[in-house]
């Protein structure tokens, strides 16, 4: 099957009409090229969007209080209320399958700067949090440490600040740890800085937030046991979307909110959003394959057509060869191999050009800097292997009809055509 003569013959036949061979090959190469480019573009979009989720605990919902819209248990509608710290334990007891429940507070935005360090000032968001918050946000500790339960229990006045704040308020090589910041009139000691895991940032507020132990925050800023909002993450393997209803009903009961009051408690289900994006990726991949394969099919039909014409032209030759005793299977094999060879070679060229284009786009992206929602378009080796498999199969299909029609002609009829 891999004899030198067979390959010599394949090359002879395909090179005998070079222009036609190249034109045919172009169809298949183009199809594969489109397939590769589409898949790479989809992957680029996926990478870009995924990066925005990078490090975020996606199986998370956020829940905050609004005003009630229904009277309940003697309480009027239009009532403002707060979650209490006790609700956290209540939720933990009533709703199993939760990994992290983070009660959170935040300083109300002020008119002017709220943070002072010596002569430098700045306006930053300030949060009261439990240590688990770092598992829910895409942060890592760059310097020093995050606060821990000792800080919580002893209500230590310590803060973790973003690296952006360090850049704003400190000299370049100045030691940050152990310095004091005055936040809304209260002094805190910096014990650590954090950075974001994603690198496409550089936005106005990125790495410019301040985290204070929850208990310290409550005491320093007079929040009693009020909770501004909660970030709740489900345990791995579970889905927060399925638990959100139970959580909300639990807090409604404890806050004396009418069970049917739809607007008293606001929430945002990050997991549902994330899943929607995930299914979008799936759809993108499907569309890329669908369109790519359709384009490829038209190329394959081209190959099949050309093979039919080649067979027609070679009817007599095939007749001669059969008269000389070549068996039909050998002829069929020859034609199939020509067809597969043509599709694979042209497909390879398509893959190479596709890869080069991707390479070009990547180096262009490197030069112009990151683009929103598009990152590192690429195709995996698996996709290339699948493409090759498609090529072999399609080469077989393209050659199948012509090969059959070639051996259907009886040698005597083939020889008669003068």
Partner 1 sequence: MIKIENLHKSYKMGSNSLHVLKGINFSVEEGELVAIMGSSGSGKSTLLNILGMLDGLDEGSYTLDGVPIKDLNETKAANYRNKFLGFVFQSFNLINYKNAMENVALPLYYQKVGRKERQEKALKYLEQVGLKEWATHLPSELSGGQKQRVAIARAMAAEPKVLLADEPTGALDSTTSYEVMDLIQKINDLGNTILVVTHEPDIANMCKRIVHLKDGVIVEDKKVKQVRASEYV
Interacting residues toward partner 1 by CB under 8 A: 4-5, 12-13, 16, 316-317, 319-330, 407, 410-412, 415, 418
Cβ 410 to partner 1 shortest distance, Å:
7
In this structure, what DSSP letter does residue 195 have? E
Cβ 348 to partner 1 shortest distance, Å:
25
Q: Give the tokens for residue 34.
A: 């489109």
Based on CB atoms, which residue is closest to partner 1, 245 or 413? Answer: 413
Based on CB atoms, which residue is closest to partner 1, 4 or 172? Answer: 4
Based on CB atoms, which residue is closest to partner 1, 76 or 325? Answer: 325
Based on CB atoms, which residue is closest to partner 1, 144 or 328? Answer: 328
Query: Do the beta carbons of residue 308 and residue 405 sit within 8 Å?
Result: yes
Query: Do the beta carbons of residue 47 and residue 358 sit within 8 Å?
Result: no
Based on CB atoms, which residue is closest to partner 1, 294 or 412? Answer: 412
CA proximity to 303, closest of 354, 338, 350, 349 = 338
Please list the residues that pair with 196 across neighbouring strands.
Answer: 139
Cβ 308 to partner 1 shortest distance, Å:
20
Based on CB atoms, which residue is closest to partner 1, 345 or 415? Answer: 415
Based on CB atoms, which residue is closest to partner 1, 285 or 321? Answer: 321
In this structure, what DSSP letter does residue 56 have? S
Cβ 304 to partner 1 shortest distance, Å:
23
Q: Give the tokens for residue 186.
A: 């209260």
Tell me the C-alpha distance between 384 and 387, whole Å.
5
* DSSP string for residues in 8-44: HHHHHHHHHTHHHHHHHHHHHHHHHHHHHHHHHHHHH
CA proximity to 261, closest of 71, 62, 61, 64 = 71
Based on CB atoms, which residue is closest to partner 1, 122 or 328? Answer: 328
Rg (CA), the chain: 34
Based on CB atoms, which residue is closest to partner 1, 190 or 306? Answer: 306
Tell me the C-alpha distance between 220 and 256, whole Å.
28
Three-state SS annotation for 164-179: HHHHHHCCCCCCCCCC
Based on CB atoms, which residue is closest to partner 1, 28 or 331? Answer: 331
Query: Do the beta carbons of residue 166 and residue 213 sit within 8 Å?
Result: no
Cβ 414 to partner 1 shortest distance, Å:
9
Query: Do the beta carbons of residue 187 and residue 137 sit within 8 Å?
Result: no
Query: Do the beta carbons of residue 97 and residue 236 sit within 8 Å?
Result: no
Query: Do the beta carbons of residue 23 and residue 342 sit within 8 Å?
Result: no
């Amino acid at each position: 099957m891999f004899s030198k003569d067979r390959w010599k013959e394949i090359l002879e036949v395909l090179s005998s009409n070079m222009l036609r061979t190249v034109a045919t090959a172009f169809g298949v190469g183009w199809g594969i090229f489109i397939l590769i480019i589409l898949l790479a573009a989809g992957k680029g979009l996926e990478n870009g969007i995924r990066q925005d989720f990078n490090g975020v605990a996606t199986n998370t919902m956020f829940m905050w209080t609004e005003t009630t819209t229904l009277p309940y248990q003697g309480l009027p509608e239009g009532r403002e209320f707060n979650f209490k710290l006790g609700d956290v334990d209540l939720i933990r007891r009533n709703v199993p399958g939760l990994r992290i429940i983070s009660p959170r507070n935040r300083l109300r935005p002020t008119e002017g700067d709220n943070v002072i360090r010596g002569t430098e000032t700045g306006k930053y968001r300030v949060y009261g949090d439990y240590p688990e918050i770092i598992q829910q946000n895409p942060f890592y500790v760059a310097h020093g440490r995050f606060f821990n339960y000792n800080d919580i229990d002893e209500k230590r006045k310590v803060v973790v600040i973003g690296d952006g704040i360090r850049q704003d308020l400190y000299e370049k090589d100045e030691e940050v740890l152990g310095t004091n910041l005055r936040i809304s009139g209260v002094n805190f000691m910096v014990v650590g800085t954090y950075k974001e895991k994603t690198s496409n940032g550089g936005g106005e507020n990125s790495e410019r937030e301040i985290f204070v132990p929850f208990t310290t925050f409550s005491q320093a800023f007079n929040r009693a046991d009020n909770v501004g909002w909660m970030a709740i993450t489900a345990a791995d393997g579970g889905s927060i979307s399925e638990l959100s209803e139970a959580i909300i009903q639990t807090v409604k009961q404890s806050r004396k909110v009418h069970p049917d009051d739809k607007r008293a408690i606001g929430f945002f289900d990050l997991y549902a959003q994330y899943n929607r994006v995930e299914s979008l990726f799936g759809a993108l991949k499907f569309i890329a394959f669908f369109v790519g394969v359709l384009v490829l099919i038209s190329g394959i039909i081209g190959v099949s057509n050309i093979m039919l014409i080649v067979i027609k032209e070679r009817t007599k030759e095939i007749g001669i060869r059969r008269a000389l005793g070549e068996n039909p299977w050998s002829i069929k094999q020859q034609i199939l191999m020509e067809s597969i060879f043509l599709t694979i070679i042209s497909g390879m060229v398509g893959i190479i050009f596709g890869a080069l284009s991707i390479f070009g786009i990547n180096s262009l992206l490197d030069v112009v800097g990151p683009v929103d929602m598009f990152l590192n378009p690429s195709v995996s080796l698996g996709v290339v292997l699948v493409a090759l498999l498609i090529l072999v199969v399609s080469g077989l299909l393209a050659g199948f009809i012509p090969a059959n029609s070639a051996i259907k002609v009886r040698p005597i009829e083939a020889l008669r055509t003068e």
